[in-house]
């Protein structure tokens, strides 16, 4: 039962749970950013309701990219990555598990919290549900892009990495916000379908690129 992939899963989950900073960091970042918007724009109910979808999506995008930047970094520095490479196991599955664990601990809590914050920003209930759906489809994309940024800059681990991938995340952001804005229309399903398609095609391409980027450091 305790095979390579299950161990990867357990290792990463325990590392995550053992450090409150990696678990709570994105949540704190997200809540603070959400709070900054009404302070900057004023607490006008109509205005905030209009901006709410964008505010939440942007805050989650930034929180997500920041938390996924170091996903392979620690394994690279402490030598765990060496052991993974000697094991001869499928790196694709290994990277997928790592990204999933990181998504589970850093993005999933944010999705639940975002439902509450959407009420604080006066987003209508129906739209808040759509928000949650788009985030479910969108945050894995953001996680994979964040992982790619981290994989590209393993040695340095700086802001360069995440700024490279933010422009590439744009379709997810636009589709997510469009879906929320058209929550009363039929177009909603079109945008959600497109977002799902984007996720579907991102998985193989982005994880393969992550592996390509990691291997650059072992030549």
Partner 1 sequence: MIKVEHLFYSFNDLPLLEDLNFEVKSSEIIHLKGVNGSGKSTLLKILSGILNNFQGKILLSTDNVFFLGHNLGLKDSLTVNDNLLLDYRFNAEAESLDEACNIFDLNSLRDSKLFSLSQGQKKKVSLVQFFLSKCDLFLLDEPFANLDKKGIELIENMIIDRQNQGASIIFTSHEEHNISSRELIL
Partner 2 sequence: MRQFFSQLISFPYFFKLAQLSFPYIFVISIFVILLGVSWGVFFSPSDATQGDVYRIIYIHVPAASVAQSIYYTMVVASITYLIWRIKMASVFMISMAPLGALFTFLALFTGAVWGQPTWGTWWVWDARLTSTLILLILYLAIISLFSSFDRRDSTDQAVSIIVLIGGINLPIIKLSVEWWNTLHQSASITLSGSSIDNEMLIPLLISILGFYIYVTAIGMRRMQIEIIKREITHNWVKTIFQEKR
Q: Which residues bind partner 1 (CB under 8 A)?
A: 2, 4, 7-8, 10-11, 14-15, 18-19, 74, 77-80, 82-88, 215, 218-219
Cα torsion 200, 203, 209, 210 to 10°: value is 160
Do 169 and 141 contact (CB within 8 A), yes or no? yes
Q: Which residues contact 216 (CB under 8 A, 6 or more apart)?
A: 152
In whole angstroms, the minimum distance from the beta carbon of 89 to partner 1 comes to 8
Looking at 1-9, 18-26, 72-80, 163-171, which segment touches partner 2 (CB under 8 A)? Answer: 163-171
Q: Does 209 bind partner 2 (CB under 8 A)?
A: yes
Which listed option, partner 2, partner 1, none, makes contact with residue 18 (CB within 5 to 8 Å by class)?
partner 1
Which listed option, partner 2, partner 1, none, makes contact with residue 168 (CB within 5 to 8 Å by class)?
partner 2
Query: Which one, 33 or 209, has the nearer CB to partner 2?
Result: 209
Count of residues binding partner 2 (CB under 8 A)?
A: 27
Query: Which one, 27 or 211, has the nearer CB to partner 2?
Result: 211
- Nearest Cα neighbor of 133 from 62, 188, 206, 185 is 188
Distance from C-alpha of 120 to C-alpha of 31, rounded to nearest angstrom? 11
Query: Which one, 17 or 216, has the nearer CB to partner 2?
Result: 216
Angle subtended by helix axes 45-68 and 159-181, to nearest 10: 140
- The DSSP string of 73-127 is HHHHHHTHHHHHHHHT--HHHHHHHHHHHHIIIIIHHHHHHHHHHHHHTT--HHH
In whole angstroms, the minimum distance from the beta carbon of 74 to partner 2 comes to 18
Distance of CA 13 to the CA centre of its chain: 16
In whole angstroms, the minimum distance from the beta carbon of 40 to partner 2 comes to 19
x/- track of binding to partner 2 for residues 141-160 (CB under 8 A):
-------x---xx-xx-x-x
Query: Which one, 110 or 179, has the nearer CB to partner 2?
Result: 179
Q: Does 126 bind partner 2 (CB under 8 A)?
A: no
179 to each of 126, 192, 199, how far by Cα in Å? 12, 6, 15
Task: Please give the residue ranges that form the binding site for partner 2 (CB under 8 A).
Answer: 148, 152-153, 155-156, 158, 160-161, 163-164, 166-168, 170-171, 174-175, 178, 198, 205-206, 209, 212-213, 216-217, 219
């Amino acid at each position: 039962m305790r095979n390579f992939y299950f161990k990867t899963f357990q290792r990463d989950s325990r590392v995550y749970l053992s450090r409150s900073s990696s678990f709570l960091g994105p949540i704190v970042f997200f809540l603070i950013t959400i709070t900054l918007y009404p302070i900057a724009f004023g607490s006008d109910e109509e205005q905030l309701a209009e901006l709410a979808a964008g505010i939440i999506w942007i805050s989650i995008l930034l929180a997500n990219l920041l938390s996924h930047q170091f996903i392979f970094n620690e394994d690279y520095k402490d030598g765990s990555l060496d052991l993974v490479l000697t094991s001869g196991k499928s790196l694709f599955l290994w990277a997928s598990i790592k990204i999933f664990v990181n998504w589970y601990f850093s993005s999933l809590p944010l999705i639940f919290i975002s439902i509450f914050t959407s009420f604080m920003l006066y987003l209508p209930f129906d739209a808040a549900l759509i928000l949650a759906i788009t985030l479910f489809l969108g945050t894995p994309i953001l996680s994979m892009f964040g992982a790619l940024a981290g994989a590209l800059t393993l040695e340095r681990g700086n802001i360069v990495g995440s700024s490279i991938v933010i422009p590439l995340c744009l379709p997810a952001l636009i589709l997510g916000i469009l879906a929320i804005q058209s929550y009363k229309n039929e177009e909603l399903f079109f945008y959600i379908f497109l977002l799902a398609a984007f996720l579907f095609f991102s998985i193989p391409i982005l994880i393969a690129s992550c592996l390509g980027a990691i291997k650059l450091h072992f030549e």
